[in-house]
Structure 1
Amino acid sequence: MFVIFGAAGNVGGTSAAALRRAGRPVRAVVRDETQGAPLAEIGCEIMISDLLDPPTVARAIKGARAVQILCPVPRAHADPASDMRRMIEVAADALRADPPQRVLALSDYGAEHASGTGITTLFHYLETQLQAVASQLTFLRAAEHMHNWARVLPIALSKGVLPSLHHPLDKLFPTVAARDVGLLAAELLLDEQPAKTSPHVVSIEARERVSAFDVARLVGELAHRTVVAREVPRGEWAATLHAAGLGEQHARLITDLYDAHNAGRIDVEAEVSERRFGATALAEVLAEIVARVAASASASASAAP
């Protein structure tokens, strides 16, 4: 049995579907029944679990040959770091008590750093806590997800300005499509050859690095309008993130992350075991997001009195 936590998400859903296409039994772990319906349609066993609830996590991994673990940053929590650390501890305790043959943890570029990288320090904590699990461990460290730009594309499309926390605007940085992360995760779980090291650290990013200027240009081309990139001044970051609905502590995790990004600390670790590259170009992902934002705006306009 292959157990996929976060199976309703972009990465987990892709992994679950790839494993089912390979004919493997999949237990898709989700938060509620509605999330499980599409996964049940492709033959997944559905398990409802709360990552903060040890009994449901233990039931989810029971009898597993391989487990793909994801601990999401809980956006709605007043102290998301504390909540995520608790999720990690619950997962690690369950895996230590009932270790499967393989564990693959979805992690981030920069997870080798113990401090000073905001949200990424939580993935360092995830990797550290899993070290004691008696399984073949793989840490799949992904670059910044391309879908993250969906947060600001409505602004870019309505105002023609793409706000960026990446400074300077011409700095190249790595990104990756969620589908490529999910496909690689499934491939690694299916690989029958034992890794030479445990943990086996694998990085993934797209073949081409991009800048905020590149993102603005691509969005403009897709939307058939002029879009310019704009550096959000460092002093405005917190207010901008608060306006986007993030609480104070979550906003601080983001600002610390981008400070580290802009200082060049978020990249492939020199000691990484294996580097892989996704096939999806940023333009493909942005095209999906632009179409979705445009459809939403059109629907809202049609519903207006």
Structure 2
Amino acid sequence: METLQAGGFLLTWLDGGVTNLDGGAMFGVVPKALWSRKYAVNESNQIELRTDPILIQKDGYNILVETGIGSGKLSEKQKKNFGVTEESKLIESLAVLGLTPGDIDFVLLTHMHFDHACGLTKKENDTWVSIFERAEIVTSNVEWNEMRSPNIRSANTYWKENWEAVQQQVKPFTEEREIIPGLRMVHTGGHSDGHSILVVEDEGQTLIHMADLMPTHAHSNVLWVLAYDDYPMTSIEQKQKWMKYGLKKNAWFTFYHDAVYRAVKWDGSGKELVSEIERQK
């Protein structure tokens, strides 16, 4: 498991499963001739996208960022449609670290699309139940409202089986929330109306988790946004804001979906990598 120390915060990447989605959809209007130079694509025009949660630890807190695609939750048709080649081993990853789901204090969901929220619940005796029963589940108020009342476009990704069993644990926030000192969630919109990012600032170090505003290192160009984004101009505005902020502070940028890197630092121009943590394959 790859790790990153940022100030007093220790990040560890867990195994949440693998999807392979259409590269054109993941890079929107950007021509394949451009994006395929920066990210590998297969003969079916699919790119590999991890769905690997990040465990953040500090001062005795165990904080889980996203929950993977789950195990045994997707139908065979869904696995085919989403190019799933591996399901989640999240619980097994925690066990390697000597942890159980009951040790998780917070689950932070930047948004609640299926590939981020499927790991919240499991089925017991034909009933969906919470996996992280003791955890406070945090997402933006906008996201939580849409999760429960999706529109005609978002109904395909906001599923009842991912929220009904955990609704008593959810503590939505408006605009911004400090989870513990040095770690905050900030509502950005863009990818979804309720999308949020994470910002760590501790001991003079900065780390930004852009979530699906920048799902891979190849999306660093602020204009390279997803066809899946509900509000692409908002995505661009927020990428401009937070890329500028992070580059000025020599920040680490971390990833949930990237199949190549777990985290990177760019130079001041945002074009050249100066530090990286590669995913171990």
TM-score (norm 1): 0.31
Say which one has the larger Rg: 1
Structure 1 or 2: more helix by fraction: 1
